[in-house]
Structure 1
């Protein structure tokens, strides 16, 4: 491994010296799956009063419910103790602040010379509409239980507040 990762490997050595999660079971102890964004301003455990092992945390750009998210939720429900799903996008999200995937493709092409048009980024500047759509994808997925509790909320990156969304 190149020196580009020395900082994180050194930090891991300190982590190992204090490691306390041995024996933690792979199930979601509080029955929760959290779908949230990859944004580094989000601290999923702290913001929801969770501890390691309490929840399955699924992160991607924009906190979107993709086919892979649904695949992971099926596994989490049937094999890992998940009984409820919270979809939690956030304020000031880049994926919700652009007009379209085309805008992102054009920016990457113009700035870096890479054509990303083979990818779907799932941008949507109607963040609440996208959240409602994603909640419905979970609720109506044929492989997920009909009684699965599914909710949505928005995380405010400037205050830390989680606001439930009626959907």
Structure 2
């Protein structure tokens, strides 16, 4: 592992030399949590006009509202000042191009690893899945009924967001 992270440590040394955000608290200054994908083409703060400290950013493959995301949202709402949640998947997502079975077969064939004990939560229909995940947040017994929840699809080609009509339980 020697040297594997030298570029990152050097970049951090430069960053830390002018670091000026040490006074930020752990609270979301804009009361926002964003659930988005781990895709490296997404800059959640930049595309939403936010700065460090403004929002809680939760990322995973496919921007799915998993049990862990719900757990994190409960903490964000009750301990860290979040009063609105935006679920934001994106176009050209690898999770929307395969089924779980196809991913299991690919990893097995390419790497000889049996991943069948994992649920990848691939996405057949992004808008329907987005509505499902929003409903999951809105109907959680652990989150307040008045929590504002919305969804938008981020276009990785244009940088534009398109709001998706959200269900009302």
Aligned pairs, number: 166
Where does structure 2 lack aligned partners over 5 or more consecutive residues? Answer: none
Shift in Å, 1:18: 1.4
Q: Secondary structure at the match of 1:78?
A: helix
Partner in structure 2 of residue 83 of structure 1 = 83
Q: Secondary structure at the match of 1:119?
A: coil
TM-score under structure 2 length normalisation: 0.97
Distance, in Å, in 2 between the alignment partners of 1:43 and 1:144 is: 27
Partner in structure 2 of residue 125 of structure 1 = 124
Partner in structure 2 of residue 32 of structure 1 = 32
TM-score under structure 1 length normalisation: 0.98
Distance, in Å, in 1 between the alignment partners of 2:97 and 2:31 is: 32
Shift in Å, 1:2: 2.1
**CA deviation vs aligned residue, 1:106-165 (integer Å, no higher than 9, x gap):** 111111111111111100121111101000000000010000000000000000001100
Shift in Å, 1:29: 0.3
Distance, in Å, in 2 between the alignment partners of 1:141 and 1:116 is: 29
**Runs of at least 4 residues off by over 2 Å:** none
Shift in Å, 1:3: 1.1
Distance, in Å, in 2 between the alignment partners of 1:124 and 1:160 is: 21
Partner in structure 2 of residue 159 of structure 1 = 158
Q: CA RMSD in A?
A: 0.7
Where does structure 1 lack aligned partners over 5 or more consecutive residues? Answer: none
Shift in Å, 1:20: 1.3
